[in-house]
Amino acid sequence: MIITFVHHSCFVLETNERVLIFDYFKDGNVKGYTFTGELPELAADKPVYVFASHFHQDHFDLEILRWKGRFQTIRYVLSKDIRLSARYLERNGIDPSVREDITFVQPLKTYQVGDMEVRTLRSTDAGVAFLIQMEGKRIYHAGDLNLWKWDGAGELVNGKEARAYKHEINKLTDCEIDVAFVPLDSRQKKYAAEGLSYFMENVDAKVVFPMHMWQDYSPIAAFKSKISNGAFARRLVDISGENEAYEL
């Protein structure tokens, strides 16, 4: 299995049998940032499954719907809050027939996509998180399911956020997850690692990739420096920049 960190929350996971692409967007979508990540070279004859957790510009891009002719087999799994009417697609130069290749998903449901089981959780922001079972492995991508705790928000708001996040993550405590992609957002300052920490302490995930870092990877080392258990710390992958690839 090869995993490529493209940028932000976009990862490409490639096995001998398929490719999964999560939350892709191209540079220019987000003001104030220059993203340099690119998709790795992928075999045109390998089935590709493209996931988008919600409609935000740093998680979804209409560009993915233009990949239909790029691969022999492509399927999309998109959160239902991504609205793609035939008229809207036509206005953007996309053949509306692409909707035949899309599975729209809602929170707290289970879907069969090809030979994969896709289970969804409810995000604490927008859309869904994905738990995918395929080839005897489980893959988790959080989207914007995170413990969104902020300075100045107050105990009432932050407490509600914490309860909502833990309620969703607790649904994974009986799962063995092979690869997980979990937010570590430096904008949250002292609270940046709270969601990631709760996830790692309560979910059996062999390998955890931090994401949604807005090109600031310093919270990874800061988080690891507070962990005394070396084996626990090694579960979290060190990411230092876009376009990095990892073989698991």
| Beta pairing class for 137-141 and 116-122 | unpaired
pLDDT at 27: 85
pLDDT along the chain (248 residues), means of 10: 97 97 92 92 93 97 92 95 96 95 98 97 97 98 97 92 97 96 95 96 96 96 90 92 95
Look at residue 156 and give its three-state secondary structure: helix
pLDDT at 44: 86
pLDDT at 52: 98
Longest dimension (CA), the chain: 56
**Tokens 């953007």 belong to which residue?**
92
Distances (CA, A) of 63 to 70, 71, 182: 12, 14, 24
What are 15's two structure tokens?
A: 């096995």
Picking from 112, 117, 119, 130, the residue whose alpha carbon sits closest to that of residue 54 is: 130
Backbone angles phi, psi at 107, to 5 degrees: -65, 150
pLDDT at 228: 84
